[in-house]
Structure formats: structure tokens, C-alpha cells
Amino acid sequence: MRTEIIDRIVISGAKGFVGKNLRKFLYVNGISSIPISRQNFKNNKFPSLKNTSHFVHLAGVGSESVHQDSFVQVNIELTKTVINLCKKNNIKNIIYFSGLGVSKNSRSSYFISKFNAEQLIKKSGLKYTIFRPSYILGNDDYLTKNILKQILKKQILVPGSGKFLLQPISIDDVCRCINVALHSSKFSNKIIDLVGPKEITFQNLIKKSVSPKIKIKKINLELAYKKALNDINFEYGVEDLNILVGNYVGNHKRLQNLCNFNFKKIESLNT
């Protein structure tokens, strides 16, 4: 294993949940980061990226609407731009966040866009690490914010049976994984499931996270999809449902062997 000295990297999606936490973590560990925002991409104007070793590409979109950029625009076209930026600035390594469940057989628009972005990176000639994360939990994460909004309504909707499996991972462990990947050649040119050590059903995750006073209501899955398509205020979007009910779990043992540290077992949203 080769250990590299890293002191400066680039991060897209730096204002998002993972990006903000990662920048703080790296700063504490002596690594400075250059943030790239959606506005930089939109205006095609970027800060100096000289003397940086890695590009951590976190920017992406998980839902589509008439008011948002599409999966193709963000997950594919932004990836093309990132690859070009790396080549232009002699950045030889890219770390990309895809999604757990992505494969060549993917049928959802979101997963297809992520798979195509993966292929662009693999064919780019850059050294790459592609992480496929499960739900990443921590202060202000997307899933917890969704559930908290539902708690305010005194009711949480569980699509379908609620027995589909998740394999959540803590944001602290995610930051540690990225840090190890930055420094170790063991991660080079690999696609790795970014998952925690414990599989848990969505139903049990919710039950262990909220007060017994909060009503948990199951909603027929077909009805949930209809509402997701037609009601902008519904608790879940179409791709939220695709990911949630997909029963996507990954190979934690492989991740553990690569990282060589102990991961937090997540049994509730109160991590």
C-alpha cells in the first residue's frame, strides 16, 4: 500500500450535507479544500485549481422537476465538466459519489444517469474511486429532515410493507473513508459500496427513531407512487421511493478491509 501526502483537494457539491461535513473534517486533519459551487459550473468560471491532487465530485441531483436541473444536466454533464477540469489542471485522481443500487441494469432515470457518469469516469484515463453510498446519516441529513417534517404533522408515512432493507452509514465514517481513500492507493480504480455494518428495515429504523406517540401509517406502494407523481407536497418523490424500496444493501466487509477502522452501527436516525 502506498501512502500519499495530501494537503489540497477540490470538492464539488461543497455546500451540501456531505460536502460541508467533509470540508470540516479535512480542515481538522490538515487538508485544505477548494469548493466548487453550482454557480461556478453554470457560469463556467472556476477558481485556480493548481497544485491539487484530487477532485472529490459530490455534486449531483436526486430528483427532477420542471424547476430543477435534470439528471442528465447534473449527474452526467457536470461529470463531463469535472473530468475536463481535472485534465486541464493536471488533477490525476477523482473520487465520485454514485449511488447504492446503480448498475448496468438500472431502470430508474436517477440510477441510469449515475451509471453513465460512472462510465465516463472509468473511461477518462484518470485514477478513480467510485463510492456507491447508502443513506448517509448525521446532523441535517436528507432522510432525517424528511422524517422530522413528518413528525411535525404527528404522522410518518411508511411506503409499502416497510420491510425493505437499508444499510445506513454515519457521516463521520463517510468522511473517514474519503480521507483514507485520499491517502491510499488501495482504493485506486475501484467501485466500492459505501455502507454501514448493519442492515435494518425502514420500518424498524423509524420505530427506533421516534416517540411511540407519533403515528406510523403504512401507505399502499402504488398509491405512494401516484402521489409522488402528482402531488409536489407529498412526503416522497418518485426517486425517493425507488431508492427506499429497492432493498439495496452492499458489501460492508470489503469496505471495512480497505479502511481498516471500526464503523458505527446505525439502528436509529438519532446517530
Predicted pLDDT of residue 61: 63
Tens digits of residue pLDDT in 78-111: 999 999 999 999 999 999 999 999 999 988 888 9
> Is pLDDT at 191 greater than 70 in this prediction?
yes
Distance CA 8, CA 2 (A): 18
State the pLDDT at residue 134.
Answer: 98
| Predicted pLDDT at 103 | 94
Angle, helix 252-259 to helix 171-183, in steps of 10 degrees: 50
Helix (H, G, I), strand (E, B) or coil at 105: coil
- What is the model's pTM? 0.93
Give the number of C-alpha atoms closer than 13 A to the C-alpha of residue 78, restricted to the C-beta side. Answer: 29
Chain position carrying cell 453554470: 42
Closest Cα partner for 267 from 221, 208, 224? Answer: 208
Q: Report how far residue 55's alpha carbon sits from residue 19's, in angstroms, rounded to the nearest whole number.
A: 12
The structural domains of the chain, ordered by start, are 8-139+169-196+250-259 (3.40.50.720)
**Rg, C-alpha atoms of the chain:** 19
**127 burial type by CB count under 10 A (0-12 exposed, 13-18 middle, 19+ buried):** middle
50 burial via Cβ count (<10 Å: 0-12, 13-18, 19+)? exposed
Residue 23 pLDDT greater than 80, yes or no? yes
Give tens-digit pLDDT for 238-271: 999 999 999 999 999 999 999 999 999 999 998 6
pLDDT at 66 over 70: no
- Average the pLDDT over 153-161 and give the result: 96
